[in-house]
Chain A
Amino acid sequence: MSQSPIFAHDLVRVFGSGDAAVRAVDGVDLDVSAGEIFGFLGPNGAGKSTTVRMLTTLLRPTSGTARVAGYDVVTDADAVRRSIGVALQDAAIDPLMTGRELLRLQATLYSIPRTDGERRSGELLERVGLSAAADRRVGTYSGGMRRRLDLALALIGEPSVLFLDEPTTGLDPMSRISLWEEIRRLNADGTTVLLTTQYLEEADQLADRVAIIDHGRIVREGQPDDLKAEVGAPTLFIDVETSLVGTATSVLGTFGELRPTAEGTLGVGLHDGVGAVSAVVRALDEAGVAVSHLEVRAPSLDDVFAEATGYRLEGADADGAPR
């Protein structure tokens, strides 16, 4: 048996039955090492949250096995719960209670003695910068404050493994960066972190390793830099008139493989690197294609994602129902 803090083998979760059955998670393997920040990247509905719900004992896997902090998530669920901290994307915080009251309640749920619970609540409020708002009702908190409280709640039991389900979705850039810093600090103290995100930049900035999940399956996994290096060539994006898309596509095809793009834009992975741009422009010009916009981008996780799934995460529908 693996001693990794988070280990899953062929994890499957099916919702519904018969013709209506949906394989939300379809054979996920995970092996997260101690002290790692592991990023789970994918669009809404890809199976991120369902996987996290299984790993955090909220949902029973249809098949497959998972061990968290060394305990089986099905047969030893209570031991798992005592070892982990969880901040779920769609688990609201009671708006009628104050931040301090919620932390004390959470401390009681983790069987922390009263005085220790009070001390720890105070420390965590300080740590996430909510001391001043500690005795205000959560209903008056901003989105960023709620996420920080959520993090503090997840930390009350001093977990060795922390699950953060889309911790920064819907936050403004400043709040996002301050939460990233906090996650890095926690990780530096030795906490293993699994976070799900639909933000490429978040996965790139924060994660030691990234798994890209699409339609319930992990389609790429590795360190962000390695994944980007695998894609290799930079991508040239051009905008052309709709009537010239056919011509432009065949011209671009001679410089490298075409890459998925947002609608109205064409993209090609340049075999010969950035130096080929002028040749591309000349070739397009000779073919009578006027280019209205041109952009070259070094390989990014978006390219990794596009190459793995056939579509781009940026600009993808972000409003789908979370699973």
Chain B
Amino acid sequence: MSTLAQTRAMSQRSVLALVRQPALVIPSAVFPLFFAALGTSSFSRAVNIPGFPEVDSFLDFALAGAIVQGILFGSITSATALATDIETGFFDRLLAAPTQRTAILIGRLAGAMAYGFAQTLFFVAVLVPFGLRITTGAVGLMLMAIGGLLTALAVGALMSTMALRTGSSEAVQGSFPLLFVLLFFSSAFFPRETMSGAYRRIADWNPVSYLVEGFRSLTIGDVNATSIAQVVALPAALAVVTMTGALAALAARTRRG
């Protein structure tokens, strides 16, 4: 019971940190929208390329990339906050109290999950007036929001592992280019069907491609077993792996040298 109460209190703290630092949140919300707008205005005729899925506009195609991009960048914010807690000694303050160790990590990730959920809905809300149409309707939208939450957990746990292992906010922020590369060598901005050579092979291996395509199939396709597997089961499975790593990193960090 107390673990639950502690986790909830720690979650509230991490959500509060997001709400009270809009300057940290806005870039990860605005950047992907900017990319989506830029893509839509520049590549509107790309939808006619052979291999491009059938869409009303490039915007419908771009949404999925924007969502995953927002979550990747948002995960840096929450992991940076964890690293900053370690740097400033707030983490020690928590450890010197009878705090459940997992509450520290899960509370932090809960903030990231809430952010992933809300940001997915926010992107859709902002883009609908510009012509975005989600073929799967409210059910698809809810699945996407849940997928956003799970993706935020999976990526957030990965970035938290880095925060716990290094205890350095600079190291966490230094992973930004890496995430950017992962995003670019995926189907976030163009369908894999239009790629060739090494680029295509990397995109085929890149899990980000499959995450993006899950969101995309719910935007422009149907709700079916494949789309649900990609939006819900894939990030959930990734989250199991990254959470295992994060819990091990937490145990190492709290083993008290």
Chain A residues at the B interface, C-beta cutoff of 8 Å = 56-60, 78, 81-82, 84, 86, 88, 90-94, 96-97, 101, 104-106, 108-111, 137, 153, 157
Q: Which 8 A-B pairs have the closest CB atoms?
A: A91-B89, A92-B88, A108-B9, A111-B2, A81-B98, A86-B96, A109-B97, A91-B93
Residue of B nearest to A13 (CB): B257
B171 at the binding interface (Cβ < 8 Å):
no
> Do residues B256 and A60 form an inter-chain contact, with CB atoms below 8 A?
yes
| Complex interface bits, B67-99 against A, C-beta within 8 A gives 1, otherwise 0 | 000000000000000000100111011111111
Q: How far is the CB of A137 from chain B (nearest CB, A)?
A: 8
A57 partner residues in chain B, CB cutoff 8 A: 95-96, 256
Chain A residues lying within 8 Å of B49, measured Cβ to Cβ, are none
Residue of A81, A92, A137 with highest tally of chain B CB at under 10 A = A92
User: Chain A interface: which of B16-24, B28-36, B116-124, B160-168?
Assistant: B16-24
Q: Indicate if the CB atoms of B90 and A91 lie closer than 8 Å.
A: yes
Contact present for B96 and A60 (CB under 8 Å): no
**Given the interface contacts A58-B256, A59-B256, does A109 sit within 8 Å of B94 by beta carbon?**
yes
Are A90 and B89 within 8 A (Cβ)? yes
Indicate if the CB atoms of B13 and A111 lie closer than 8 Å. Answer: no
From 4 to 62 in chain B, residues with beta carbon under 8 angstroms from any chain A beta carbon are 5-6, 8-10, 13, 16-17, 20-21
Nearest chain B residue, comparing its CB with the CB of A105: B9
Q: Does B5 lie within 8 Å of A108, measured CB to CB?
A: yes
Interface residues of A, dominant DSSP: loop
B167 to chain A, nearest CB (A): 14
Complex CA gap A82/B97 in Å reads 7
Tell me, rounded to whole Å, the shortest Cβ–Cβ distance linking A126 to chain B: 22
Residue on A nearest B85 in the bound complex, by CB: A94
Q: Looking at the complex, which one of A88, A96, A105 makes contact with B96 (CB distance below 8 Å)?
A: A88
Residues of A within 8 A of B94 (CB): 109
Interfacial chain B residues near A97, Cβ < 8 Å:
13, 16
For B7, give the chain A residue with the smallest CB separation.
A108
Count chain B CB atoms within 10 A of each CB in A58, A78, A82, A97 and give the residue with the most.
A58
A60 to B252, CA, bound (A): 13
Give the docked Cα–Cα distance between A101 and B6 (Å). 13
Question: Please, which residues of chain B bring their CB within 8 A of the CB of A56?
Answer: 96
Bound CA–CA A94/B81 (angstroms): 11
